[in-house]
Amino acid sequence: MSFVARLLRREDLHSLAAPYALDALERAERRRFETHLSTCEVCAAEVRALTEDAVRLAWSTAAPPPAALRERVLSAVRTTPQESAGVPARARAPQLPPHVWGNQAPPRGRSVRRPLFVPFATATAAAALVVASLFAVQANEARDDLAAQRARASEIANVLGAPDARASTGEDAKGRRIGVVASASEGRAVVTLSGYGEPPGGRVRQLWLMRPGAQPRSLGLFDGDTPLIASGLDTSSTSLAVTVEPGGGSPQPTSQPIVQLALKSVGFGE
């Protein structure tokens, strides 16, 4: 093959980075491209970046799996041997998915642009969060208006004490948490965040109610670790989301959610 032909072929292969990241190559072509990737660091880096972009398309498709799947997978795991266990991970070739991340480590901090937030129901953790927040309420009494704080504490107690109060918590990839205790009959929820710190530059964290086919509705702004009491929830409410907004909040979200929590496990979204 002539030099020019080789160059052209290389260029041609290089243009397959995006289709490869989207899994849009036929099998044979995929293999050829992967062979090329192992020798082309520029392509590998590009494929890494494009693959992260493609994965963003996946994040929005999360759906609860059938309950029976869990038991089937977990019992299969008990009897399924693992491949080459015991050998340190770095000693093995990254074969799966093949060459997706090329031959060099990505720059630090690049791998997770936005943590995927996966809700799960652990009542005890959520309750612990709420209790911790109640302490925060009491500790703040000196600073704020006592009567308002008492009213808030009593509202929280009402939600917690409702006969159908249920708790759920979610944790993102960085271990930051959102906790909710909600009562469907009261249409109210107590929502707490932990581990998020204060948003920089005078920005605020705003809580949104998500309903199918409707615009997000603001449920208020968080003030530090103080729990936020959300009211006016109806059974069509499917999830809560928190975004970082300019000071004073926004009429509609202007950024992606930093966390999100499905409400189904606490009696909504039916």
Partner 1 sequence: MDADELLVLVAGGDQKAFEDLYGLVSGPVYGLVRRVVRDPAQSEEVAQEVLLELWRSAARFDPRRGSALSWVLTLAHRRAVDRVRSARAAGEREQREALRSGQPAFDHVAEEVEAGLEREWVRRCLERLTALQRQSVTLAYYDGYTYREVAERLSLPLGTVKTRMRDGLTQLRKCLGGVA
Closest separation in Å from C-beta 144 to partner 1:
30
Q: What is the smallest separation between the CB atom of 121 and partner 1, expressed in angstroms?
A: 9
Instruction: Output the smallest distance, CB 44 to partner 1, in A.
Output: 10
- Cβ closer to partner 1: 54 or 162? 54
Q: Which residues contact 114 (CB under 8 A, 6 or more apart)?
A: 59, 256, 258
Closest distance of CB 200 from partner 1, Å: 12
42: alpha, beta or left? (left if phi > 0; alpha if psi -120 to 50): alpha
- H helices present in 194-268, as ranges: none
Report the residue number, 192 or 239, with the smaller CB distance to partner 1: 239
Complete edge-to-edge strand list for the sheet that includes strand 217-221 = 217-221, 204-210, 239-245, 257-262
Give the nearer residue to partner 1 in terms of CB position, either 163 or 202.
202
In the complex, minimum distance from the CB of residue 87 to partner 1, in angstroms, rounded to a whole number: 7
Taking the least distance from each CB to partner 1, the nearer of 134 and 263 is 263
CB-wise, 97 or 247, nearer to partner 1?
97
Per the CB < 8 A criterion, the answer to whether 243 and 253 are in contact is: yes
Q: What is the rounded distance in angstroms from the CA atom of residue 97 to the CA atom of residue 114?
A: 21
What's the full length of the chain, in residues? 270
Is the Cβ–Cβ distance between 100 and 51 less than 8 Å? yes
